[in-house]
Structure 1
């Protein structure tokens, strides 16, 4: 067999997927990476899936970035349009020092609202993890007509969802000057960064250490300690807003899916179940996973989201 013939056969074999591969939902080919200017800041976002498909806006937690959604994107990109931004001060977005940007959750939400306007997103499912909850609920209250449904992944909106770890954190809110050094040490600690992922999981071997070493590198960048402690001081406004968010949920009754890693050291399972007090029809799943549940339950989360959205859109997930 001559070389051209062998090459032709090899190319044909690569282009022809086996039936088992054709059945997979994973679709990485559509994932792309972009940066746009919003309010004078460079805001990075990941995009996947057909632009004319139903949109999911994925809002990340602390101290992560849109990178936390990377394992999920190819599992949903065949049917959904996915947008996952980095907030100012996070990931690949601009991170000016606090003297150059007022790091509050109101302002983070305002920037992401600006991104949705620039991208022409007027109808989407909010997918919110950790800090994504405070950002997303602010957006939902500002533009309720845009929100088709809500997916919660370890994002708290009820005080019973805050673990005992928050007792020390509340001391910082009460007396920032006295507590800021301890908080900075915690935020820039490799051990604390690891704990946010593994929590109390009995399966630490399932966790990729790159998850926390990458985040630790991010937290070690210039100005990050100041950025994150400034933003965390504003977290107290989230707790104060819980009743307002709960009222909105009770009045709006959005379709809601709650996916909750039970080994989360910061947010308790009670915080997941509390959503049913506001939205009795909420679908709640307690997962064998931690705070960043995608670390350990990617396939399970993808399946739950596909089934939930399939019912919402009237087709099989």
Structure 2
């Protein structure tokens, strides 16, 4: 008969791996080996442990699995720019994927203005006893600091480009930009401005290069390029004051910038998309509710988190050769872009 969790002066308690070990007459390490499918266990011993587990209604915990593997089953995450949509969405996706396979995530946020926090972040996570490190949305300056660290831990960096030093996985940012610009060119636009994110960010540089390459392939001159930050305020300042001249379309480096552009243009009586087209990047959950609904480039953050976790687990289990996976973005066409009307 299955027994209930043990009672004590503190109330009901779920049975532990030690309780199972006592019931089965074995050590707790033997229970751990059974839980993790260790081959060098006598069948009679395995059967006795499994019977005790069933009788006590024992649910293996991450602690029990860690005892058998001598791992914490915890991944340390260093996240640059945690308030930005992309990094934040990637972290949530990684946490979800980790929970589904019994891993926990400890995160350390690095502020936009202090890449030197990378040192203290690595130290804090390593002190917690994590099995691996993941770096989300890195800037060049923060990765330079990470290269100077020697942790001995498997490490994955979320960026589109392969890197011989680490495992990497990322959305193809350059191709995402090319999808956006090709779409505008296909609609007849010949003067396309780009509002770029900070150039210390790999994603910002890749999106800028994709815009530049696509224009060159089409034989078009580079439109105006303005480098700023990731905020709607940056886009708003452009929209309310920039002299568009013959510019008929704006490729914004993210959806927040695009929202600011639309707002700023609206204040000047410039209509989107009738007078100027605007396209973003990320596909925020609210992008379809912008006025007008925003054409943008979607990043699959759920797939990104799952791939990152798969690489990390493989690395934890001994796959030391740096690997690289790339996810393709998707163009989402809405009402902020339209064909140029011959005039």
TM bucket, shorter chain: 0.3 to 0.5
* TM-score normalised per structure 2: 0.33
Larger CA Rg, structure 1 vs 2: 2
Give me the TM-score of the superposition, normalised by structure 1.
0.35
